[in-house]
Structure 1
Amino acid sequence: MKSATIRGIGLPLPSLTVDPQKLLFSLSSFIAAAITLAIAFSASLPRPWWALLTVYVTAQPMAGAFRPKVLYRLGGIAVGAGVTILLVPNLQNSPELLVLCLASWTGLCIYLAVLDRTPRAFLFQMAAFSSAVISFPYLDDPANIFDTTIARVQEMTVAILCVTAVHALLQPWSATPVIRARAQSFLGHARRWAAEAIGSRHTRLENEHRRMLAADITELGMIAVHLPFDQRWAPATKRRVTALQQQLARILPLASAAANRLDLLRAQGALSPELASLLDDVSDWLTDPESGVHQSAPLIRRCEKMAAEGEAGAGWSGLLTASACVRMAEFLTALATSRRLAGRIGSPGRPRLEARVAQPFALARDHGVAALAGLATASAIGLYCAVWILLAWPNGSATAAFAALITCSFAAQDDPAPVIGRYLWATLKTFPVAALYLFVILPRVDGFEMLIITLAPALLWMGYIQADPARSPQALPMFSCFIVAMGFLARFQGDFALFINTGLAQLGGIVATLAVTKMFRSANVLHTARRILRANWAELAQLADIRRPFLPERWTAQAVDRLGQVAARMAVAPEGDALHAADGLADLRIGRNIIPIRRALPHVPHDARHRLGAVLSGLSAFYSSRWRRGRADPPPAEMLRSIDQALHALLALPLDEPRRRALRALIGMRCNLFPAADAPAVEGRG
């Protein structure tokens, strides 16, 4: 909508623009909330406000995301309720031990949730949250804990089933268009980056785009989990998206490898006119939005022909040309295949390209990071409970419950402190609205229908905010403050003292969470990035160790995932930090070069196998040293000699396909590890 102007002054008036999808999501959540309250009131559930709050805590803008999560959430509620019934009656005479057990249980659940990194993590989060909100408010009266647990389970279950049913019926969003958009976004980024990479300007773009490229690959897998639960007529399948992920994961190392060789050729003045013409044509295909997938086939054939001529040509420049062309051909093949797969998402037909996919895209997991998140959560809850018990604060139990809600909601973030600070500010902003409703509006309301009509403006407004990705973190504190302050019992209770005490309990939980988070987690972002880098080096050392199991596809998936995680955190690293010296993309290329060398070992004579083994042994020792020291140290000079000796050994042999791939891998490894080294004395194969 166009903005208007004030007559005679010319000042623009702000225009009111309403997003239909966000409004539909908010309306769906409100209908679910109304149904939930109706059931809670008619069934005389003791705390209807828990049911109402659960509606908005579990609401998700993507409809397909509800169906897997509803199973995990209901399972988490059942597990949390079981732990409550197991612990509270048996430890009611030892409150210190009971608090320790509950805090430890919550920390364990958060550890598992952070480690999992799939929608299954909602089971662990819900188990932690439900046990906390059931147990803490009723530790002073454990005799009725069984009835209390059953009531809380009923309230939360009714809310989850209502919100799932309403959103599934109205379908605000589906997972399929989101996956298609992510895939197209990645392909657009990859094509722009590759076009400038082969034009020698990739150094600037590498830091700018690789985070988005790697993050899009991982996010595709997160969304793909929901596909089996999306509309039954959705043509996209999890297998098809897994195949797409595996193709996309190849694009990053292949395109950057081609750019690396082209840089070396330009530095040596060895870029032939034929290769320059090929690069222009490839760049035109990449940058032309109207270019078709079929147009890549002639370019791939030209790359392969030039690669064969380069390997049969003279010296090191010929081998570099061959390496650049081979990687470019592989990159174009992977990009064309990805475009075909992405184009088939959302269209009917049986999957064909993904028929060979056997394993899902593996995510990297860090037990240390997960353990730190769990320890921080357990320590925070223990601290809240200690303060509550020592001060004998009547509403301190509510503080512990709110603190558990906040810590469980943000435990997966490296540094939740800024988000929790905004949580506090959003809570403070909502208190006047809650007070207006509780003491001015609701006393004049009579009947359930009028209650729903009266609540509609506030809940629809907050639901609209929840549907906006930029403002959604504000929604949970607003709902928590508003709904908990209302109370929503069977009869209206406008108790000002209770309102203030409950509000202070909420603020106390947020402030205590913020304090403990700053103590435990605020310096964790760079620490996490370094841990991820070291984990990648450790995996590279294992990949190069011929005594270790060989799972190349799994390693590639985890390496791409780590690349995105590190790149996302490097933005906060200060200038000169050691993180900037670590080239995750070069490590990814080196790992991809280790794979064909290991595969070639059974296909070469003893002497060549010994040379290749020396290269792998040196790589394993080099990355093990990096892992132990925690620094991106340069490779030793002995490794350059080992690579050159292995190159000469392979060049002296007839090249079948495994040996040819190993030769190309050695060339790539030398270019990545020793880009400034003098050219080796190699002879053409004529």
Structure 2
Amino acid sequence: MPATARTAPSPWSLFLLDPQKLLFSLSSFIAAAITLGVAFEASLPRPWWALLTVYVTAQPMAGAFRPKVLYRLGGILTGAAMTILLVPNLQHAPELLVLCLAAWTGFCIYLAVLDRTPRAFLFQMAAFSSAVISFPYLDDPADIFTTTISRVEEMAVAIVSVSVVHGILQPWSATPVIRDRAHAFLVHAARWTREALGRRHTRLEYEHRRMLAADVTELGMMAIHLPFDQRPASVGRLVVLGMQKQLATILPLASAAANRLDMLSALAPLEPALAQLVDDVRAWLAEPVAEQCASGGELAARCRRHAAQSEQPATWKGLLRASLCARMAEFIEAQVEGCRLAHQVEKPSAPVQVDVAKNRREKSFPLARDHGLAMLAGMATAAALILYCTVWILLAWPSGSATAAFAALITCSFAAQDDPAPVLGRYLGATLLTFPLAAFYLFAVLPRVDGYGMLVVTLAPALLAIGYVQAMPAWSARALPMFSCLIVALGFLDRFIADFATFINVGMAQVGGIIATIVIAKLFRSVNVRWTAGRMVRGHWSEIGQMASLARPFRPAQWTGKAVDRLGQIAARMAVAEGSDTLHAADGLADLRIGRNVIAIRRAALRLPAPMYEAVREVLEGISTLFQARARKGELLPPPASLLASIDKAIAAGSRVILPEPAHVALLALVGMRCNLFPHAPAPRMVSDV
């Protein structure tokens, strides 16, 4: 099981060689050597750009790179086509050309930030390939077609080389990673639920919800790799999608059971039979995942029998007991089904039932996308490029075009982050530290090198060392600026040229591009983490309000998945947010449970008895009004007393008669709604209490 807490690596860990990281570095170096040899043999004008592309696109998981090859190549071709379309036609209007290039780059970044799948690499590559091709030649665009073709050839050679070499030396399959992630999720969910049912869950909530929600989302990202798996396909994407949907329901069901248990315990000590059932569920959760699958069906049946016995006569305590047992049964069934699907991933010969037709229709797991944040990233990128080019043109700086290209590359690389300035600061520090190494190579080592073979041997120590750093997750962000500084400063060409003025000028262009990017990030992108989380919370509230409105179309199919994904994003940001404010007071799990209760009520609404239907209408209108108001004001507004009265009225109407299954589900959803919105309200007056 993965560690639940990560600590910062010790600097001494750099001296403890990991074979897997060393293999990654060696694979990247071999790809770089092949790329450099092809570039020299084909007389490509900028071999250094091909070499840099190798390390920009290389990733520690070779399999994670494989499905992105086509996206990256497609992005390069798209960016090149846009360059050929814009530059020759607007070369006599440089201001308009800069505006168009900036707008195009910003639009691509908007799509990349919005997408959040490997397909985003297509948009990202389209953005900075057009930037790095166009900006260095804006002052002399006459030969832009030949230049564009050369850049495409250099980048394509690098991407193909690194993909082939990593695929051969690092054979990687998505299936074991998906299996391990699913198993880790089930273990985390079982541990969290066991502690929640033991009434010790409050302090664990933020960390666990972040881990569990992130595991669910990442399963979908990994499933995209399955068609590109180097080994024979052992698990279908539809099976992973079915498992992903099943796991997404575990978190709200487990938290709902814990919530009902808290409510019951606050009223009175648990009855011996119920206490024994809860203890048995907790003991079942302590078993290994494989054993849970074998004994879970019988335990879920016990919970359902206890739920049926608890509802007659209809009292508030009885409804709470029924809700607790029903949610425990649903959680156990979801956990067992998740175990079975994870077993299908591990042993594909095992029979398993998956709703293939439904999964084919839905294609993929839903992700929560924020158009506002994506637009902010795109507009900031466009504004940054306009400012770069304005300063470069006004200063008439000879290396200004290179600065604009470097700045565009860096801006596009960090566009998805809420506040890239701290990372860019480390980027600048790594660049400055690499300059002495670049100067040593350029003026002391390379003048004594003769031929391609000796060049590769000479570069091996530096490239292997930095490549090893790139394979370390905690240090990988520093590797790219080190590669960029070293490779660009050396300026690999078919003939060696060591000019100190050129070296200083190129170095100033790199540093200037980074500093300009930091300044722009401070001006446009230093978004407070709590502000970003606040936008997501308001979006969550708005969706619940819209879903509860009977006047709006009811589309609940993908809501739970999107809500779990958004919950993970919010929790990750709130984990690093300082202070105690409204956002920390907002309970994402409670909102998730309320949304699922709204879905259950609306699905059953048309089959409810007339008195209960009218009361339920009032409840849904109150929920819609409350959550729309929360979304507008960005505050955790308390629910009004009128909503409590409406919920109690609907519960009373539903408890008067024995309800069929859809209406019974709605009754338990109303119980859950009351527990989540009014946890401290006195027990309602039931018909059986009169």
Query: Is the TM-score greater than 0.5?
Result: yes
Q: What SS does the corresponding residue of 1:363 show, helix, strand or coil? A: coil
- 1:465 paired residue among 454, 469, 473: 469
- Comparing 275-284 with 256-265, which one deviates more in the overlay? 275-284
Pairs within 5 Å for 1:37-116: 37-116=36-115
Could you tell me how far apart the structure 1 residues matched to 2:92 and 2:618 are?
65
Pairs within 5 Å for 1:425-436: 425-436=429-440
Preserved contact between residue 234 and residue 346 of structure 1 (Cα < 8 Å): no
Which residue number corresponds to residue 130 of structure 2? 131
Distance of aligned partners of 1:685 and 1:218 in 2 relative to their CA distance in 1, 3 Å threshold: farther
Give unpaired runs (5+ residues) of structure 1: 1-12
TM-score normalised by structure 1 residue count: 0.96
Which residue number corresponds to residue 365 of structure 1? 369
Residue-by-residue CA offset, 1:225-276 (whole Å, 9 max, x unaligned):
1111112413122111111111111111101101111101111114111111
Give the CA deviation at 1:298.
2.3
Give the CA deviation at 1:575.
2.1
Could you tell me how far apart the structure 2 residues matched to 1:573 and 1:35 are?
46
Which residue number corresponds to residue 336 of structure 1? 336
Report the AA paired with residue 435 of structure 2: F
Give the CA deviation at 1:375.
1.0
Which residue number corresponds to residue 143 of structure 1? 142
- Comparing 353-362 with 559-568, which one deviates more in the overlay? 353-362
Report the AA paired with residue 202 of structure 1: H
Give the CA deviation at 1:89.
1.1
Which residue number corresponds to residue 674 of structure 2? 670
User: Between the two proteins, what is the percent identity of the paired residues?
Assistant: 66
TM-score normalised by structure 2 residue count: 0.95
Report the AA paired with residue 370 of structure 1: A
Preserved contact between residue 62 and residue 174 of structure 1 (Cα < 8 Å): no
Preserved contact between residue 573 and residue 579 of structure 1 (Cα < 8 Å): no
Which residue number corresponds to residue 315 of structure 1? 315
Give the CA deviation at 1:184.
1.9
Could you tell me how far apart the structure 2 residues matched to 1:172 and 1:225 are?
17
Is 1:561 paired with 2:560?
Answer: no
Pairs within 5 Å for 1:421-460: 421-460=425-464
- Comparing 268-277 with 103-112, which one deviates more in the overlay? 268-277
Distance of aligned partners of 1:14 and 1:30 in 2 relative to their CA distance in 1, 3 Å threshold: closer
How large is the Cα RMSD of the aligned pairs?
A: 1.7
Give the CA deviation at 1:550.
2.3
Is 1:622 paired with 2:616?
Answer: no
Residue-by-residue CA offset, 1:94-133 (whole Å, 9 max, x unaligned):
2222111111111111011001111111011000110000
Could you tell me how far apart the structure 1 residues matched to 2:634 and 2:498 are?
59
Which residue number corresponds to residue 496 of structure 2? 492
Which residue number corresponds to residue 188 of structure 1? 187
Residue-by-residue CA offset, 1:137-184 (whole Å, 9 max, x unaligned):
111111001110111011111111111111122235332222222222
Preserved contact between residue 36 and residue 51 of structure 1 (Cα < 8 Å): yes
Which residue number corresponds to residue 153 of structure 1? 152
Preserved contact between residue 63 and residue 171 of structure 2 (Cα < 8 Å): no
Is 1:586 paired with 2:590?
Answer: yes
Report the AA paired with residue 543 of structure 2: E
Q: What SS does the corresponding residue of 2:67 show, helix, strand or coil? A: helix
Preserved contact between residue 171 and residue 230 of structure 2 (Cα < 8 Å): no
Is 1:502 paired with 2:506?
Answer: yes
Q: What SS does the corresponding residue of 1:655 show, helix, strand or coil? A: coil
Give the CA deviation at 1:632.
0.9
Could you tell me how far apart the structure 1 residues matched to 2:439 and 2:599 are?
64
Q: What SS does the corresponding residue of 2:90 show, helix, strand or coil? A: coil
Q: What SS does the corresponding residue of 2:575 show, helix, strand or coil? A: helix
Which residue number corresponds to residue 573 of structure 1? 577
Preserved contact between residue 656 and residue 687 of structure 2 (Cα < 8 Å): no
Report the AA paired with residue 540 of structure 1: I
Which residue number corresponds to residue 644 of structure 1? 648
Is 1:297 paired with 2:301?
Answer: no
Could you tell me how far apart the structure 2 residues matched to 1:637 and 1:197 are?
29
Could you tell me how far apart the structure 2 residues matched to 1:15 and 1:478 are?
16
Could you tell me how far apart the structure 1 residues matched to 2:47 and 2:392 are?
25
Could you tell me how far apart the structure 2 residues matched to 1:563 and 1:26 are?
36
Report the AA paired with residue 336 of structure 2: A
Which residue number corresponds to residue 277 of structure 2? 278
Distance of aligned partners of 1:671 and 1:15 in 2 relative to their CA distance in 1, 3 Å threshold: closer
Which residue number corresponds to residue 9 of structure 2? none
Q: What SS does the corresponding residue of 2:198 show, helix, strand or coil? A: coil
Distance of aligned partners of 1:96 and 1:616 in 2 relative to their CA distance in 1, 3 Å threshold: same
Which residue number corresponds to residue 414 of structure 1? 418
Which residue number corresponds to residue 382 of structure 2? 378
Report the AA paired with residue 533 of structure 1: V
Preserved contact between residue 556 and residue 592 of structure 1 (Cα < 8 Å): yes
Is 1:26 paired with 2:25?
Answer: yes
Preserved contact between residue 207 and residue 571 of structure 2 (Cα < 8 Å): no
Report the AA paired with residue 226 of structure 1: H
Preserved contact between residue 362 and residue 558 of structure 1 (Cα < 8 Å): yes
Preserved contact between residue 63 and residue 175 of structure 1 (Cα < 8 Å): no
Q: What SS does the corresponding residue of 2:88 show, helix, strand or coil? A: coil
Give the CA deviation at 1:546.
2.3
Give the CA deviation at 1:659.
0.9
Which residue number corresponds to residue 4 of structure 1? none
Could you tell me how far apart the structure 1 residues matched to 2:615 and 2:418 are?
43
Give the CA deviation at 1:628.
1.0
| Matched residue count | 674
Could you tell me how far apart the structure 1 residues matched to 2:664 and 2:427 are?
58
Could you tell me how far apart the structure 2 residues matched to 1:15 and 1:229 are?
33
Is 1:598 paired with 2:573?
Answer: no
Report the AA paired with residue 661 of structure 1: V
Report the AA paired with residue 300 of structure 1: A
Preserved contact between residue 343 and residue 350 of structure 2 (Cα < 8 Å): no
Distance of aligned partners of 1:168 and 1:456 in 2 relative to their CA distance in 1, 3 Å threshold: same
Give the CA deviation at 1:16.
4.0
Report the AA paired with residue 662 of structure 2: P
